[in-house]
Amino acid sequence: MDHSIPQEHSMSQEIKTCEICAAAQLQIFCNNCQISLCGKCDTEHRKGGLCGLHDKVLFPDLNKLLFPSCTIHQNQICHSYCKQCDIPVCNKCKTQTHHDRHELIEMAYFVSMKLNEIKAEIEELLKKVIPQCRQTKADTASKLSMTEVKYDQMIHELEIHRKIWHQEVDGIFNRVRMKIHSEKEKSLRELQNHQSDLAQIYNVMYETVQEDRDILMSKEAAIIAAHKSRMMDCLQLKPGPNIKIPILKTKINKGRELSLELVNIEASLTQNSSVSNMMECSSNETNLPKDSTCTSITNSTSNENVPSIPLCALSAPNGRPVSKSYSRVPDIIAKATKKLLLIKQGDKCLQRKIKQESTFKCPSSLGPSQVMSRTLDLHPTENMACSAVKTMEVSVIKNTTRDRSKSLDQSKQNPVEELTKTILVDHHTKAEQKSLTERFSAFPLTNGQLLKKARVISSFPTGLENLTAVACYRSQEAWICGETKVIKRLDIQGFQKNALLATCKYFPGDIAVTRDGELIYSNVNARTVTVVREEKTEILIQVTKGWHPCKLCCTSSGDILVAMFTSDDKNHKIVRYHMGKITQEIEKDVNYENPLFQEGRHPVYVAENTNGDICAADLNAEMVVVVDNRGKEKFRYDGTAAKRAKPFVPGPIVTDSSGHIIVTDQINDCLHILDKNEQFLGCIDNCGLDQPTGLSVDREGRLWVGSYNTGNVKVIEYLKLRKSGPSQKQCLNDKN
C-alpha cells in the first residue's frame, strides 16, 4: 500500500470558469464570498452589496494567504494572532477589547511558524516514526508466526505423549484381559472336563439299561445267572467343580485416581496436583535400608510425616545418586526399585515405600503442581504365555464311547465330540505352542428349521453413519463399520467393547473375522487386505495392480475369499487366498468364455456355504450366483420367487450351519432365504428392516442386520436349532 503524502493540486487547475455565468474566463476571486468571478460578474457582485466589504484578489494571486474574518467585528479581517487567547484578532480587537494587553503577532508570521512545524512533523513521521512502526509491525508478524509454530509443536508433542500414555493404559488392560482369559479358560476347562465325564457315565447308564432290558426279555438261565450289576459304576458321580469367578474391582475417583484389581493384578492411574498429593497416594508404610540416615520430620508441603535424609546421604538404588545440583525444584531423581521411590524436595531426600513397579523422571522444569505419577503393581503368579502351554506335545484329543448293542437304534446314538485346535507359532529362533481347545456340548447343534415368524431379540444404535458392514465376533459381539474410518466392536446390548481406526483413505470396503477371531478389512484404494493383531495392523494380502479388493469372506478352512474389481469397473472376480497366496480365481465359466459377473460399479458380495459352494450377490446383474468349489456355475436366483413389488437388489450375503443362503434385499427391506439347492424358502420382512446393508450370522444361529439409513443393528432369531442324540427322558422311559 502506498503511504506517500499526496501532492497538493493547484487551485488554478480546479477552477477554470466563472461560477456565475459559467462561460467567461476567471479574473477575480472574492475571499469573503469564496466565489470565482469574471470581470463582468464582479461588477454585478459588488453592486449587490450582500457582502459589504469584499476582499478580492486577482485570479493569478490565488496562492496568496487568505486571512480569516473576525467573529466579533463584522466585515473585519484578522491580520494578527493573540498568543494568550490562541485566536486570530482584527485591528478593532487590538484597540477595543482586552487583547490590547496581550501579546500579538502578525498572522502571516504565525502561519509561517506553523507551516514550518508541520513540515518538521511530516519529516519526522517519514524518516523515524513510520520506519520504526514498519519494523515493529514486521517483528510482531514474526513473533505471531513463531508463537503459532511453538504452540503447534507443543500440541504435536502433546499428541505424541497422548499416544504413549494410551499405550501404557492399553498395556495394563491387555494384561488384565490376558488374566481374565486365563481364568476363563481354566474355569471352562474344569467344567468341560466334568461335563465330558458326566457324558461318559450317562452312556454307561444308557447301555446298562439296554443290557438289563435284553436280559429281562431273555429266557436263558445262564445269561440271567451270569448278570453282574453295574449299578456302582453308574452311582460314581463326582461332584461338580467349585468354580470361583474372580471379581474385577474398580475404583473411579474423578480427577484423582483410577484403579482396578483382579486376583493378583493391581493397577492404578493417579494424577496429583503437588508432590504432597503424590506422597498421599503412596503407601503409608516406610521401608528404609538398615544403613539409612533418614529421620522422621514433618513435610513442609503436607501434614504427613515423611522420612527424609540429607542430600548425598543415600544413593538411589538402580539409578544415579542424589546430587545437590537438583536442589532447586522438586524432582523425581532416580528410577525406583519395586517398592522404593526417592523424591528430592528442597535440601531433603524424601523416600517412601509405594505400590509401584517403576517411576519415570519428571523434567526439572516442571513445578510441584505439574508432577504426574503413574503407579502400577503387576505381580502375576505365572507367565501368561507359558501358563497357556503346559506341554510341548502336539496332540488331538479324541473322545470315544463303548460299542453299543446292535439293538440300539442308530438314530439314537450319542457321540461325544471334542475338538482341539492346536496352533504352532514360530518366532524365528523360538517356537511357542499355544493349544486352544473348544469343547462342544455332549449333543452338538445340527440342522434347524425356519421359524414360522422371525423375531427381533435385540436392537441398538451403533453411532455410525451410513452403516455398511457387520461381522460377528464369537456369539455375543460383532464388529461394525460404516462410511468412516472407525470400526467398532459392540455386544448384543449395544455396549461398545472396542474400537479402532482403519488405515484406509476413506473407509473400509468390508470387514470379516477369521477362523482365529482376528479382524480383517479391505483397503480399496491401497489394494490391500489388512489384519488386526494385538491392536496392531499388518498387511495380509497385497492385490495385483489394476484390481481393487472389496468384499471379504473367511472360510471354515481358514482361507479368505476376496471379491475384487478392476479400476474401470468392467471386470469382477472372486479370489481365494491361503496363507496370503492365491489358490483359486473365479471369474469366468468353465469354458473361460463368458464372465460369471456382470460389469458395473457395484461390488460383488461373497460367502461360502457348508457344502463348499461359493455364493455371490451380483448387484450389477441383480442376481445371486452360486458356483461349486471348482468354480462351475450351479444356479442363479433373481428374486422372482419372492414376489416382491420392487426389483430385487441383492446386497450382503451369508450362509448358516444348515446350508441356508440368506441375502439382503435393500430396496424391499427384507431378507431372502434359499436352501443350497436353489429352493426358495421365504422372506424375513416382519422385523422392520430399513435398507439392510450389513449382515452376519453368529455362533447361536442368529442374524445381525445393520441398517444403512439409521445406523442401527437388529439381532434376529429365525432358526429353530435341534440337538442330536436322545434325551435322558427318552432313554429312561422308553419301554419298547
Domains of the chain, residue spans: 249-286+296-378, 384-438, 443-461+638-736
How many Å apart are CA 182 and CA 30, to the nearest integer? 110
pLDDT confidence tier of residue 410, bands split at 50, 70 and 90: very low
Question: What are 489's strand-pairing partners?
Answer: 479, 498
Chain position carrying cell 466565489: 35
- pLDDT computed for residue 42 by the predictor: 78
Mean pLDDT (the chain) is: 73
pLDDT score for 61:
53
Q: How confident is the model at residue 722 (pLDDT cuts 50, 70, 90)?
A: low
Q: Which CATH number fits domain 443-461+638-736: 2.40.40.20, 2.40.10.500, 1.10.1240.10, 3.40.50.720?
A: 2.40.10.500
pLDDT digits (tens, 9 = 90+) for 208-251: 888 888 888 888 888 888 888 878 777 777 788 888 888 888 88
The average pLDDT across 308-333 equals 37
Q: What is the pLDDT of residue 41?
A: 83
Higher-pLDDT residue of 177 and 553 is 553
Look at residue 486 and tell me whether its pLDDT is greater than 60: yes
C-alpha–C-alpha distance, residues 399 and 506, integer Å: 50
Half-sphere exposure of 394 (CA within 13 A, CB side): 9
Query: pLDDT tens for residues 178-204?
Result: 888 888 888 888 888 888 888 888 888
* Per-residue pLDDT tens over the stretch 46-69: 766 555 566 666 665 555 678 888
| pLDDT for residue 488 | 93
Residue 464 has pLDDT above 50, yes or no: yes
Question: Is the overall model pTM greater than 0.95, yes or no?
Answer: no
pLDDT value of position 57: 66
CA angle (573 as vertex; 569, 579 as ends), nearest 5: 125
Q: Quick one: pLDDT band at residue 348, thresholds 50, 70, 90?
A: very low
Angle (CA) 311-314-317 rounded to 5° is: 125
Strand-strand pairing, 670-674 and 680-684: antiparallel
The residue-averaged pLDDT of 667-690 equals 92
Query: In sequence order, what are the residues at sequence separation of 6 or more whose Cβ sits closer than 8 angstroms to the Cβ of residue 716?
Result: 454, 455, 456, 457, 684, 687, 702, 703, 704, 705
Rounded to 5 degrees, what are φ and ψ at 682?
Answer: 155, 180
Instruction: Give residue 675's pLDDT.
Output: 92
Q: What is the spatial distance between Cα 328 and Cα 344, in angstroms, rounded to a whole number?
A: 9
Q: Which has the minimum average pLDDT: 201-210, 426-435, 479-488?
A: 426-435
Handedness of CA 43, 45, 48, 52 (dihedral sign): negative
Q: Residue 615 in 3-state DSSP?
A: strand
Nearest CA to 719 out of 470, 454, 482 is that of 454
pLDDT of 649: 93
Amino acid type, 98: H
Higher pLDDT, 180 or 312: 180
